[in-house]
A = this chain, B = another copy of it.
Amino acid sequence: MNLNSLKKLLVGSPLATAQARHERLGKATGLAVFASDNLSSVAYATEEILLILVLAGTAALTFAVPIGVAIGVVIAVVISSYRQTIAAYPQGASDYLVTKDNMGVYPGLTAGAALLIDYTLTVAVSVSAAVAALTSALPALYPYRVLIGVSLVGLIGFANLRGIRESARFFAVWSYLFIGAYALLTLYGFVAYAVWGLPVLPPAPHAREATETLGVFLVLRAFASGAVALTGIEAVSDGVTAFKPPEVKNAQAVLVALGLIMIALFVGLTLLASIHGIVPHVTETVVSQLSRRIFGSGLLYYFVQAISVIILALAANTAFADFPRLSYFMARDGYLPRQFASRGDRLVYSNGVIILGLASAALIAVFDGSTHALIPLYALGVFTSFTLSQTSMVRRWISRRPAGWRWRAAVSGLGAATTGLVMVIVGVTKFVGGAWIVVILGGLLIAHFASINRHYRQVAAQLSLDGFEGHPPMEHTVLVLVGDLHKGVIHALQYARMLSPSVKGVYVELDPDKTRRLEEKWIKWGMGAPLVVLSSPYRSLLHPFLEYLGQLLALGDNHMVTIVIPEFVPARWWQHLLHNQTALLIKGALLFRKNVVVTNVPYHLR
């Protein structure tokens, strides 16, 4: 009961099933809810491009602008394609479901594995980036980044175990403040530069020597790093049912709006970083440097940093909704352990939340809280699932041929081809840096999903009642373990007599004198049941009994043996320590023995 109170305090009182599906989103709130996931990458995507380019020296940083524009184009293509997916799957179109639906199990599992990995990385990357935004403003905290990151994951995890029911309004405030702050930064940055002539400082303090030559591969790597900006786009199509009717229209509108804001902010910031010759630095983010140049180190600067921290934490929070939901779908289909499909007291798929929290906290710790170190693992998953999902849509259009199917197939096909190309670029350029981990892990996960499913199917087949004629009749012997003869044993014996007419007492002899005294008492108290005495040269209670039991079980496959263990229960729990735990020992030894049922009969002491 005390444990229950603690859980209540931490996680909250249980919610009734009827309290689910309470809140539906309109366009404005929907945009706010999905903004963190989509837009938060603006806080680090530009920096990741620069971090690759700077390997070829500070001069190479100018390549950031065309790369940013290219990524903007990819975003536009993907958004057009996903608008269609939303229309086709108004009940919610997880890439896993869409792919399994149209392309079969293994592609579906591939999309599922890719997404689960990417959600985990979303948490790790977003939290690391949030901590980086924080430590840029407060450099004294930099040495504690791992501790802060892991604590933040814990905090978000706990909040999600409680269930975040006040979400929409809560999200709205921060999302619009974030969009406002970043829009102000970008616009003010351009105006200050172009109209008032904000001087561009020489990039002296962070200037670096080239360590690699600027070639096609390096540019593609920079592009692949920046492509993390696309993560989160699929979230809107996952969550169509969360919208108010007309769900499809609202979801599409939100998707397009988010895409346009994303392109504007991302390309804008990349251009400004290029204009100001920002060089990435290990203890200060690019956005922080940019904001400090444009706003100075005043209140506005700190506001940009604070809102960055918040929106990145919220992005991590969104993954805490996505991961458990996807694992619920996969568990429901029998590809993940069933436990992922059951909702906790607070209507949350608690097991998914816990696993995600642990995995992402481990990633932050292992990669030392560095966003840049995590990036090579990121985005391969999401582009794999983009490509699979859109390819599925092409197959769907072709096979169903609705009105305008050619056009639709062309849009989805362009999307699939684009993201497929990005997937290949990401896989190849980041393979050595970390994508190989994702490839191996993904393969293992897919094999694991398949084997879980095989197990469930085998169990279901063995338990199925189809064509089942009923079990053959059973025979039944009840054994009462007797160590001594007292009220508790009499109670158990009386209970055993209710179960079956064929009851036997079984006594393991350690000391012949004691046996004689017991046999005398048994005549009076044994209720006519025979007493079997087993000798034990090695003082083991267990072995002689197991041998005897083996003989009984050998009598036939339909012979059930119930073992009644008398147990007295002291008034206080610690008093258990003062009594031999023989019952527990026997129970452990017989656990899951075929045709054996072990029954403890408690006798309560005052």
Contact = CB atoms under 8 A, between A and B. Distances in A.
Interface of A: 14-18, 337-339, 342-343, 345, 452, 455-456, 458-459, 462-465, 468, 470-471, 474, 476, 485-488, 490-491, 494-495, 498-500, 510, 521, 525, 537-540, 560, 562, 568-570, 575, 577-580, 592-594, 596-606
A495 B538 contact: no
B580 A339 contact: yes
Nearest to A569: B592
A540 to B, nearest CB: 7
Given A338-B579, A339-B580, A463-B605, 10 more contacts: A17-B510, A17-B539, A342-B539, A343-B539, A463-B568, A465-B485, A471-B494, A495-B597, A597-B601, A599-B599
B463 A488 contact: yes
A468 B489 CA distance: 13
Contact of A494 (B18, B474, B499, B579): B474
Contacts of A593: 602
B495 A474 contact: yes
B605 A462 contact: yes
A587 to B, nearest CB: 10
Contacts of A500: 498-499
- 6 A-B pairs with least C-beta separation: A463-B486, A14-B538, A16-B537, A569-B592, A499-B499, A599-B599
B495 A578 contact: no
18 contacts: A18-B537, A339-B580, A342-B580, A345-B540, A459-B568, A462-B487, A465-B486, A465-B487, A471-B487, A471-B490, A495-B560, A562-B599, A592-B602, A594-B604, A597-B599, A597-B600, A597-B602, A598-B600
Contacts of A16: 537-538
A343 B14 CA distance: 50
A525 B466 CA distance: 12
Contacts of A602: 592-594, 596-597
Contacts of A510: 17
A600 B462 CA distance: 19
A605 B487 CA distance: 39
B605 A459 contact: yes
Contacts of A604: 592, 594
A578 B452 contact: yes
A562 to B, nearest CB: 8
Contact of A459 (B18, B463, B570): B570
A459 B580 CA distance: 14
A520 B348 CA distance: 31
Contacts of A452: 578
A455 B538 contact: no
B575 A538 contact: no
Contact of A471 (B14, B491, B579, B599): B491
Contact of A490 (B15, B470, B601): B470
Nearest to A341: B580
Contacts of A345: 538-540
Contacts of A525: 465
Contacts of A499: 498-500
Interface centre among A14, A465, A598 (most CB of B within 10 A): A465
Contacts of A577: 337
Nearest to A338: B580
Given A455-B570, A538-B345, A578-B455, A464 B491 contact: no
A109 to B, nearest CB: 16
A521 B464 CA distance: 12
Contacts of A538: 14-17, 345
A487 B463 contact: yes
A282 B247 CA distance: 82
Nearest to A587: B600
A591 to B, nearest CB: 9
Contacts of A490: 465, 468, 470-471
Contacts of A570: 455, 459
A603 to B, nearest CB: 8
A178 B606 CA distance: 57
B597 A537 contact: no
A121 B577 CA distance: 25
Contacts of A338: 578-580
Nearest to A543: B14
A5 to B, nearest CB: 15
